Amino acid sequence: MMKSGVLAAALLLGLVSSRCQNANEISLLVRADDMGSFHDANVACIKACTEGIARSIEVMVPCAWFPEAVRLLNENPTIDVGIHLVLTSEWEGIKWRPLTDVPSLVDHDGYFYPQIWGGKDSAHSAYLLKVHWSIQEIEKEMRAQIALAKKYIPRVSHVSAHMGWSHMDPQAHELFERLAKEYGLRTEEVEGILGMAGWDNSASLEPMIDQFVRKINSLTPGTYLFVEHPGLNNAEMHSAIVDSQNTLALDRQHVTDIYTSKEVLKALHDKGVTLISYADLVRMK
| pLDDT digit string, tens, across residues 109-132 | 999 999 999 766 665 577 999 999
Is the pTM for the entire model greater than 0.75?
A: yes
pLDDT at 122: 60
For residue 275, list its beta bridge partners.
Answer: 28
pLDDT at 19: 39
pLDDT at 4: 37
- Residue pair 165/87 in contact by the 8 Å Cβ criterion: yes
Which residues in the chain show pLDDT less than 50? 1-12, 14-15, 17-24
CA 10 distance to own-chain centroid = 23
pLDDT at 14: 47
What is the tens place of the pLDDT at every residue in 154-209? 999 999 999 999 999 999 999 999 999 999 999 999 999 999 999 998 779 999 99
279 contacts: CB under 8 Å, gap ≥ 6 = 56, 80, 157, 158
136 contacts: CB under 8 Å, gap ≥ 6 = none
pLDDT at 10: 44
pLDDT at 118: 78
Q: What is the 3-state secondary structure (H, E, C) of 191-228?
A: CCCEECCCCCCCCCHHHHHHHHHHHHHCCCCEEEEEEE
Percentage of residues of the chain with pLDDT beyond 90 = 81
